[in-house]
Chains A and B, each alone.
Chain A
Amino acid sequence: MRFAVVRFPGTWSDRDCRHALVDVLGQRADIVWHRETSLAGFDAVVLPGGFSYGDYLRCGAIARFSPVMEAVGRAAAAGMPVIGICNGFQVLCESGLLPGALMRNRGLRFRCEWTHLRVEGGGSPWTAGIAPGEVLRIPISHGEGSYQAGPDTLDALERAGRVLFRYCDERGQPAPAANPNGSARNVAGVRNEAGNVVGLMPHPERAAEHIVGGVDGNRIWQSVIEAAAEVAA
């Protein structure tokens, strides 16, 4: 499977994503500069974390107008798997490809720590290999990751099973104390209606090897790789 790992000016997790995909999981992954206008030849898109355009104006607000985002929009509409991690999640929300917005953390602190995520629903290739209710241990690293949307939007997302990841404690309970940033309803990640576009604040690429403390992030990459193999078969 060949992944496009998009690099905006200020992206910082692109090489971590490529390392996890290529060196750990044996896939193909190429860095794609934000001025590219085509994603031909790729099977999936990764919008990595970082501080695109210095986070000026709002996180992700400028990156969404990069030339590559038109191609990402077309790929998303055509059903290609797209994942936005951290700043990539912010870019997807600013683009309107995912609902809601990421705001300043409750407490105003940049939080860089391990979190537990309960995988909530299905309907996405990015979690196809993970049973609902399973708990993943994946780190966060952000200052503006408080997921917010209007109550009607949140209700609609919940009803449709589009809340994909929720911050929880080790036992899978979405306790207030397990919420690192004040996200509404402990939401850590959501998907679009079709399920191919997913955004989450935690960094699966930073939980790819035991030497860094865990490998749960690979479950997400493996899910999409297996889902693509099934489509091809």
Chain B
Amino acid sequence: MSRFLASVAVTLKPAVNDPEGLTIASALHSLGFAGVASVRAGKLFEIAIEASSAEEARTMAEAMCERLLANPVMERYACAIAEAERA
């Protein structure tokens, strides 16, 4: 078994209105970041997983997204898997 780090990003689907992202964009504009075209807010989960391979770790992370981490009605997810550094 090896330890992997799954970085799971959960964001709203493009069609879903994101009042939090709109508010952050507006704040960035007031700070002078005129080049900000848009902001979408989301969540990042860093999950340490014991698995025999990166593929297995990915399968587990995706199952976690389907069951709990994301709500398919309004959200989508992306998982990046990296081998964790040995302590």
Candidates A57, A103, A148; contact of B69 at CB < 8 Å: A57
Is residue A215 within 8 Å, beta carbon to beta carbon, of the partner chain?
Answer: no
Interface-located stretch among B12-20, B31-39, B53-61: B12-20
B19 near A105 (CB under 8 angstroms)?
A: yes
Which chain B positions have C-beta within 8 A of A99? 73
Which chain B positions have C-beta within 8 A of A182? 17, 19
Is residue B2 within 8 Å, beta carbon to beta carbon, of the partner chain?
Answer: no
Candidates B16, B17, B71; contact of A94 at CB < 8 Å: B71
Which chain B positions have C-beta within 8 A of A106? 17, 19
Given contacts A57-B68, A61-B68, contact A100 B73 (CB under 8 A): yes
A107 near B19 (CB under 8 angstroms)?
A: yes
Is residue A233 within 8 Å, beta carbon to beta carbon, of the partner chain?
Answer: no
Which chain B positions have C-beta within 8 A of A148? 16-17, 73-74
Using an 8 Å CB-CB cutoff, how does the interface string of A19-40 with B read, 1 for contact, 0 for none? 0000000000000000000000
Which chain A positions have C-beta within 8 A of B23? 108
Which chain A residue lies CB-closest to B72? A101
A-B pair number, CB within 8 angstroms: 35
A104 near B73 (CB under 8 angstroms)?
A: no
Which A residues from 168 to 225 make CB contacts under 8 A with B? 182
Interface of chain B, main secondary structure = loop
A108 near B73 (CB under 8 angstroms)?
A: no
Minimum Cβ distance to chain B for residue A74 (Å): 20
Size bracket of the A interface: 20 to 34
Which chain B positions have C-beta within 8 A of A105? 19
Which chain A positions have C-beta within 8 A of B17? 103, 106, 148, 182
Which chain B positions have C-beta within 8 A of A93? 73
Given contacts A148-B73, A149-B73, contact A104 B68 (CB under 8 A): no
Which chain A residue lies CB-closest to B23? A108
Candidates B15, B19, B20, B71; contact of A58 at CB < 8 Å: B71
B16 near A103 (CB under 8 angstroms)?
A: yes
Which A residues from 89 to 146 make CB contacts under 8 A with B? 93-94, 99-101, 103-108, 146
CA separation between A211 and B48, bound complex, in Å? 54
Candidates A61, A94, A108, A149; contact of B20 at CB < 8 Å: A108
A-B contact pairs, 24 of them (CB 8 A): A58-B71, A61-B71, A93-B73, A94-B71, A99-B73, A100-B73, A101-B71, A101-B73, A101-B74, A103-B16, A103-B17, A103-B74, A104-B19, A104-B20, A105-B19, A106-B17, A107-B19, A108-B20, A108-B23, A148-B17, A148-B73, A148-B74, A150-B73, A182-B19
- Chain B residues engaging chain A, CB cutoff 8 angstroms: 15-17, 19-20, 23, 68-69, 71, 73-74
- Chain A residues engaging chain B, CB cutoff 8 angstroms: 57-58, 61, 65, 93-94, 99-101, 103-108, 146, 148-150, 182
16 more A-B contacts (CB under 8 A) besides A103-B16, A148-B16?
Answer: A93-B73, A94-B71, A101-B73, A101-B74, A103-B17, A103-B74, A104-B19, A104-B20, A105-B19, A106-B17, A106-B19, A107-B19, A108-B19, A146-B19, A148-B74, A150-B15
